[in-house]
Amino acid sequence: MSDKRARNTDRDLDNEVARLEFQAVAFRRIIENEINTLSLEQGMSVLDAGCGTGAVSRTLARIVNPGTVTAIDINDLLIDKAQKLAIEEGIDNIRFELGDVRNLGFSDASFDVSYCRIVLMAVSDPVKAASELKRVTRSGGQVLVSDIDDDFMLVYPPIPTIMEVWRKYVKVAMDEGRDRYIGRKLFSILSQAGLKSVKIVPTVLHATQDSPEELRMLSSVPLRLMERAKEPVMEKGILTPTEYEAAMTEYNEFLNHPGAFLLMGTLFAIGTVP
């Protein structure tokens, strides 16, 4: 690998780490709602499947301490970053491992609870992944899967240029195997995996000019995804620099609009292992 490629990789990784940590802060109330739904107790063993930078893992670890959290991700570079962030915060009851949610390297019934956030959208066989989460969770334990659905958003005033750019991003994501509409399928996925008493909980966040910083933070979540994907989408000829610049101009106008309103949400499904 050339020095230039190495620098680009480091920069891309740092940007992705920053994006994931920022997203965890922006969606903190949604994440808190998901975690509060789980029957977590001190001493429990919890799996965080697809942990990314470990932002949620660290919260889970604080709750179940002296229990343990096993956090896996398919990206070894993110696992390394997650370990360092946990050490920086003085958290020592998380075990970080490289792993694939479709083929978990754990024995049956290894965990009291399994948690999987914004992962299944990128998995080729989400039912198999959910079945693996069920397999490694003890009888009577809970499996919680949270994911997005891109129809779960309301905005005023209209932002047609941004929404057109977003639709192009979504098309590329879907073509590449990332299901941006998987939220509506979670009940079906967990039911097919054999989980019982599956419950779907929609969770929303909204922001207005009553809290400009919160409005900026919440709206920045999809914006950062678009920024991350901008070059690949342009390389495919789907998006032009002029279109993107127009979208960013519209975004700044939206942030300064006195009646600006944004509502975004996620869906999570929670089921019990028979």
Torsions phi, psi for 97 (to 5 deg): -140, 150
Q: Compute the distance between CA of residue 229 and CA of residue 151 in angstroms, rounded to an integer.
A: 20
- pLDDT for 9 equals 62
The reported pTM is 0.89
Q: Compute the distance between CA of residue 20 and CA of residue 29 in angstroms, rounded to an integer.
A: 15
Q: What is the DSSP string of 25-91?
A: HHTHHHHHHHHHHS---TT-EEEEES-TTSHHHHHHHHHHTTSEEEEEES-HHHHHHHHHHHHHTT-
Domain boundaries, the chain: 3-272
Which single residue is written with the structure tokens 């000829």?
237
- pLDDT for 21 equals 87
- pLDDT for 8 equals 41
- pLDDT for 50 equals 96
- CA distances to 29, 67, 157, 196, 197 from 245, rounded to whole Å, are 31, 49, 19, 48, 47
- pLDDT for 96 equals 98
Q: Compute the distance between CA of residue 133 and CA of residue 109 in angstroms, rounded to an integer.
A: 10
What the block records as the tokens of 45 is 């063993």
CATH architecture of 3-272: 3-Layer(aba) Sandwich (3.40)
Tell which residue, 131, 269, 153, has the closest CA to residue 222.
153
**pLDDT tens, per residue, the chain with 274 residues:** 333 333 346 677 788 888 888 888 888 889 999 999 999 999 999 999 999 999 999 999 999 999 999 999 999 999 999 999 999 999 999 999 999 999 999 999 999 999 999 999 999 999 999 999 999 999 999 999 999 999 999 999 999 999 999 999 999 999 999 999 999 999 999 999 999 999 999 989 999 999 999 999 999 988 888 888 888 889 989 999 999 999 999 999 999 999 999 999 889 999 999 9
- pLDDT for 212 equals 94
Q: What is the DSSP string of 146-212?
A: EE--TT-EEEES--HHHHHHHHHHHHHHHHTT--TTGGGGHHHHHHHTT-EEEEEEEEEEEEETTSH
